[in-house]
Amino acid sequence: MIFTQSKLDRCISCGYCLPHCPTYQITKKEENSPRGRITLMRAVQNETLPAQSLLPETKFCLGCRACEPVCPAGVEYGVLLEEARNHLWQGKNRPFIVRGLFLLLKFLKVKNQFRKNRDSQSNKYLMLGCFEQLVAPQAAKDLAKIDPTISITKSQGCCGALHAHNGELETGKEMAAKLGLDLPGNIVTTSAGCASHLASVIGKDRVIEFSQYWSERTSDLTPIMRNGRNIRIGFQDSCHGRNGLGIFKEPREILKKLGEYVEVPGAADCCGAAGTYSLINKKNSRKVLAPKIDNLKELDLDYLVTINPGCTRQLKSELKRNRIKTEVVHLASLVALSKSLSV
């Protein structure tokens, strides 16, 4: 069997997920919704349809999991999508870009910015990430700077999130378990997407995303000024942070200490990055992001803050393409800026 039957059985086909699904909002077609995809999964499981009939939907779906918090039956749609890709994204069915990324991780050792280990005699370890070190390394560097009590093991491996989401489910789980052994205490990360995957394998009690970690450390934060006024700050939720880990209040409470916080309309909606999605499916990625771009043009923000490196990369490139001057930064970097002003 391709799917965990008990997880398929949970769906009651109520349709509560439809208004929250980005791809359904684009097409208004049932098969492009979580409910429609689960119907296809059941048909494949029952051998009514061939598994290949599900392949296009595994590529069109972002995997944002926006359907999960609103589901009254508690369907774990993200798990079902991973199981579908694990079966289908093999050989020539695996997107070419994903194959390239796997080869990069296999044969190239991603160089991180830390030259030596740091043993802070604490039970807290900084997770460095793999592609985070390529696309958005500043966040981990800033966290290491503002909190010297976190230990750093520079030779650590990948958490396996990329693999789990892209057709190598068991490999992704094994990599997460190994990282949990290599970093034996609490693991603090500046990547909400990695945090969600890692927590699903080694437990939420051991994994702490940055905004969760810093939400109890806001007493010494100083508002950041620009041209004699508090900076205007917006926030983009991480899909796996919000829908997978329930992260919502923590980053917003921190940002309110740093300047004038402005809630971005649709902040909880996917930015279209969705792991490898923006690389595989750029056209639809931009369709998903388009309403948010229109809103950001009107808000005149100084900073748009993220807690996930994929979101950072996506929003930086797309805001630049649309000539929006708002600067995209990770929350850890804005906290570091605030703390530097109070020294």
Calculate the dihedral angle through the C-alpha atoms of 193, 245, 209, 104, rounding to the nearest 10 degrees: -20
C-beta of residue 297 within 8 angstroms of C-beta of residue 321: no
Question: What band does 114 get if pLDDT is binned at 50, 70 and 90?
Answer: confident
Q: Report which DSSP code applies to 151.
A: B
Quick one: pLDDT at residue 342?
A: 66
Quick one: pLDDT at residue 88?
A: 97
Tell me what the pLDDT averaged over the chain comes to.
Answer: 94
Question: Averaged over 29-46, what is the pLDDT?
Answer: 97
d(CA 48, CA 46): 5
Share of the chain above pLDDT 90, in %: 85
Quick one: pLDDT at residue 131?
A: 80
DSSP for 12-60 reads ----TTGGG-HHHHHH--GGGSHHHHHHHHHHHHTTSS-GGGGHHHHHH
Quick one: pLDDT at residue 201?
A: 97
The token duo for 253 is: 């409470």
Q: What is the pLDDT of residues 271-308, one digit of tens each?
A: 999 999 999 999 999 999 999 999 999 999 999 999 99
Q: Is 41 left (phi over 0), alpha (psi -120 to 50) or beta?
A: alpha
Q: What is the pLDDT of residues 170-179, one digit of tens each?
A: 999 999 999 9
Question: What band does 190 get if pLDDT is binned at 50, 70 and 90?
Answer: very high
The token duo for 146 is: 């503002």
Q: What is the pLDDT of residues 119-161, one digit of tens each?
A: 888 899 999 988 888 788 899 999 999 999 999 998 888 899 9
Q: What is the pLDDT of residues 220-252, one digit of tens each?
A: 899 999 999 999 999 999 999 999 999 999 999
Question: What band does 343 get if pLDDT is binned at 50, 70 and 90?
Answer: low
Strand order in the sheet with 207-209: 124-127, 186-189, 207-209
The token duo for 250 is: 């923590």
Mean pLDDT lowest for which of 85-89, 119-123, 205-209? 119-123
Question: What band does 204 get if pLDDT is binned at 50, 70 and 90?
Answer: very high
Residue for token digits 């939720």? 237
Quick one: pLDDT at residue 102?
A: 86
C-beta of residue 180 within 8 angstroms of C-beta of residue 202: yes
Quick one: pLDDT at residue 195?
A: 97
Greater pLDDT, 107 or 315? 315
**Is residue 110's pLDDT more than 60?**
no
Question: Averaged over 156-168, what is the pLDDT?
Answer: 93
d(CA 158, CA 175): 7
Sequence-distant (≥ 6) Cβ neighbours of residue 153 within 8 angstroms: 117, 125, 182, 183
Quick one: pLDDT at residue 85?
A: 97
CA angle 265/266/271 to nearest 5° reads 125
**Is residue 107's pLDDT more than 80?**
no
pTM of the model: 0.93
C-beta of residue 328 within 8 angstroms of C-beta of residue 316: yes
